[in-house]
């Protein structure tokens, strides 16, 4: 394995669309949501052990989840757990990772990936990542894995790429965030678009140069920590300065502005597991095309996902295309087609000072 290749797993989100199973103090990346005996974070970590040694795997998370990361990933050194004091989206998160890695190995290559995605064909995934790392080691490019779209989904960002390319690598022409349905249908029919899966590959020098050119405010903030990264003073600096970074995604901060962005289209059985509906799509279906966890008696119920705590029985009749989740102090019964509203519900509860339900 190439010791110059490092992986940063982003694991700081709250997974509000998976509420009420995903809670502020125990979000979805730490939950065995697939029923495999391992959390999504553990599955992601195991996947990347096929790519690099464990000492080259890092986790970027919120400070409140540090102990959960240590509990679930005892193979990750404490120094490899980057603790954010605030949630400022992916650009500051990735900038922190890049500055810390550059201080350790200024020639390193880095993979940045979410902690909570489902990947069915892991060997194909690792093959594509290795292809990207080989290119990043020799060329100052910003690479993203492009997910071959299977439907005109309006919940994903789309990447338009040039069809001509070498060795499966294509220059990116444009990013489009969550298009309307008709536009998504056009994208799918053209064959020149892939979904943006939020998986990035680049050399750390190329990443820092991109921040310097396109996100100077972020670059300036984190460069103040030069000489402190990988020392006992790092966390104090991050706690003091990180909250002042702008809350912006890496797509808006860098990828949509840079002219050295490339994509590797791939089909490795991907889902971002962003919602209960996306979990339903990848999970094994049983009687009536239902997905369920827990004890149940169902009648005339189909195309639904039912998630119960151990020891609870659900008796359900006449539901179709519903989400039913019973967890602790919350019972959710909601149409699958309206699942994007679940995040709004959590925001409303927060504004009503009912955070004990979150």
Residue 147 phi/psi, 5-degree rounding, is: -90, 125
Residue 58 phi/psi, 5-degree rounding, is: -120, 155
- In the prediction, which pLDDT does 294 show? 82
The 10s digit of each residue's pLDDT in 269-289 is 999 888 899 899 989 999 899
Per-domain residue ranges of the chain: 5-271, 284-357
Q: Are strands 193-203 and 158-166 parallel, antiparallel or unpaired?
A: antiparallel
- In the prediction, which pLDDT does 2 show? 55
Tell me the CA distances in angstroms from 140 to 133, 201, 214, 299, one per residue in order. Answer: 11, 11, 15, 58
Q: Which position has the token pair 């071959």?
A: 148
Architecture of domain 5-271: Alpha-Beta Complex (3.90)
Distance between CA atoms of residues 301 and 243, nearest Å: 47
Instruction: Give the residue ranges of the chain where pLDDT is below 70.
Output: 1-2
H or E element that contains 256: none
Structure tokens given for 83: 């603790």
Do residues 350 and 358 touch, judged by C-beta distance below 8 A? yes
- Give one DSSP letter per residue of 113-177, joined into a string: EESS-EES-HHHHHHHHHHHHHHHTTS--EEEEEEPPSS--TTS-EEEEEEEEETTEEEEEEEE-
Q: Which position has the token pair 């979805």?
A: 28
- In the prediction, which pLDDT does 345 show? 96
- In the prediction, which pLDDT does 15 show? 87
Do residues 254 and 97 touch, judged by C-beta distance below 8 A? no
H or E element that contains 69: helix 66-72
- In the prediction, which pLDDT does 245 show? 97
Tell me the CA distances in angstroms from 104 to 16, 80, 90, 91, 229, one per residue in order. Answer: 35, 11, 21, 20, 8
Distance between CA atoms of residues 113 and 75, nearest Å: 18
Tell me the CA distances in angstroms from 214 to 75, 95, 219, 222, 340, one per residue in order. Answer: 36, 12, 9, 14, 32
């Amino acid at each position: 394995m190439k010791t110059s290749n490092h992986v940063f797993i982003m694991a700081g989100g709250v997974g509000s669309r998976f509420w009420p199973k995903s809670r502020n103090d125990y979000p979805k990346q730490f939950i065995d949501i697939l029923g495999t005996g391992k959390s999504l974070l553990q599955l992601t970590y195991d996947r990347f052990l096929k790519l690099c040694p464990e000492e080259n795997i890092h986790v970027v998370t919120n400070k409140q989840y540090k102990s959960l990361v240590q509990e679930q990933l005892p193979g990750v050194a404490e120094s490899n757990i980057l603790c954010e004091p605030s949630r400022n989206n992916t650009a500051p998160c990735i900038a922190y990772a890049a500055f810390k890695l550059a201080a350790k190995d200024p020639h390193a290559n880095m993979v940045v990936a979410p902690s909570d995605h489902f990947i069915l064909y892991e060997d194909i995934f690792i093959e594509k990542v290795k292809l990207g790392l080989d290119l990043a080691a020799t060329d100052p490019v910003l690479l993203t894995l492009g997910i071959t779209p299977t439907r005109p989904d309006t919940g994903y960002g789309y990447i338009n790429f040039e069809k001509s390319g070498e060795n499966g690598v294509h220059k990116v022409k444009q990013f489009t965030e969550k298009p309307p349905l008709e536009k998504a249908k056009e994208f799918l029919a053209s064959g020149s678009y892939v979904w943006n899966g939020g998986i990035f590959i680049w050399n750390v020098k190329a990443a820092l140069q991109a921040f310097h050119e396109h996100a100077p405010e972020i670059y300036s903030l984190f460069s103040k920590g030069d000489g402190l990264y990988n020392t006992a003073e790092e966390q104090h600096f991050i706690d003091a300065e990180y909250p002042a970074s702008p809350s912006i995604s890496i797509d808006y901060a860098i990828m949509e502005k840079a002219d050295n962005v490339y994509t590797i289209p791939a089909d490795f059985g991907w889902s971002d597991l962003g919602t209960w509906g996306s979990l339903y799509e990848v999970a094994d279906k049983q009687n009536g095309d239902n997905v369920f966890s827990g004890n149940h008696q169902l009648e005339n119920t189909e195309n639904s996902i039912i998630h119960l705590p151990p020891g609870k029985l659900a008796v359900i009749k006449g539901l179709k295309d519903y989400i039913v989740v019973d967890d602790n102090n919350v019972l959710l019964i909601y149409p699958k087609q309206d699942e994007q509203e679940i995040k709004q519900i959590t925001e409303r509860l927060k504004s009503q000072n009912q955070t004990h339900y979150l």
